[in-house]
Structure 1
């Protein structure tokens, strides 16, 4: 019971101090209050803007790196395809036709109302993956 009384007294003391501080603040002229608030808000504004610029820079660097990875992936696939075409043109044509058919099946299943089975889900996933990687470079 004594602890509760001490806690209430501490709260009352803190409330009195807050009221006294608010009254002292209200007695100062408006221009002093505004100048004081503006001056002490500068560091937080600076850090907030610095944080925003850091976030923007991070996003730009990540997009540039992702673009390099995509271009590298496309170049690697193109080089492997051309090497495979020179080595064995018929199996390469069959492989390319199969990949195009699988992606086409994925596109059809993506725009359909109902999807059937795991193969359709895999085809839709492959179609969406390729579409997301290719779309930024087509626009």
Structure 2
């Protein structure tokens, strides 16, 4: 299908206008072009800076929140263990022995070449978690 004559004229007029605008831009001094480019890029740089600060502050706040949750969890486990020991020492001792056995199983599975099943992976994760909490106290 052939383009209409009016459409061709419209495109030629738009091309001429673009050439005129490019020549006007080229005639401006370099410092005006650079200042204009800097001024135009200012909003995007501002938003990128805000997004970066938001990410950094968000990560920091999340780490603090996660640390507080971990401390509350440890405190709750300690309080429950203390209450359980005062209430029924024999079942609490059995529970502690089972937890130690589970962590030992996780340690054995951690150093094996091949792990078996979800229970083994859970034990390995529990072993690594406890090891990461205990090793700094033993070393330092």
Q: Same fold (TM over 0.5)?
A: yes
- CA 1:62 to 1:6, structure 2 compared with 1: closer, same or farther past 3 Å? farther
Residue 16 (structure 1) shift: 6.0
Q: Which moved more, 1:101-110 or 1:60-69?
A: 101-110
The runs of 4+ residues in structure 1 deviating greater than 3 Å are 5-24, 125-139
Q: Aligned to 2:99, what secondary structure does the other structure show? A: helix
Quote the residue 1:102 is aligned against: 102
Quote the residue 1:38 is aligned against: 38
Residue 110 (structure 1) shift: 2.4
Q: Distance in 1 between matches of 2:113 and 2:16?
A: 66
State the TM-score, normalized to the length of structure 1.
0.75
Which runs of 5 or more residues in structure 1 are unaligned? none
Q: Distance in 2 between matches of 1:89 and 1:29?
A: 87
Residue 53 (structure 1) shift: 1.0
- The question of whether the paired residues in 2 share the 8 Å contact of 1:70 and 1:133 is answered with no
Residue 117 (structure 1) shift: 3.2
Q: Are 2:60 and 1:86 equivalent residues in the alignment?
A: no
- CA 1:40 to 1:86, structure 2 compared with 1: closer, same or farther past 3 Å? same
Q: Distance in 2 between matches of 1:52 and 1:79?
A: 41
Q: Aligned to 1:105, what secondary structure does the other structure show? A: helix
- CA 1:127 to 1:29, structure 2 compared with 1: closer, same or farther past 3 Å? same
Q: Aligned to 2:114, what secondary structure does the other structure show? A: coil
How big is the alpha-carbon RMSD for the aligned residues of Structure 1 and Structure 2? 3.6
Residue 111 (structure 1) shift: 3.1
**Which structure 2 residues correspond to residues 1-139 of structure 1 after superposition, within 5 A?**
1-2=1-2, 18=18, 20-128=20-128, 130=130
Q: Which moved more, 1:39-48 or 1:6-15?
A: 6-15
Q: Distance in 2 between matches of 1:8 and 1:123?
A: 75
Q: Distance in 1 between matches of 2:70 and 2:96?
A: 19
Q: Which moved more, 1:29-38 or 1:71-80?
A: 29-38
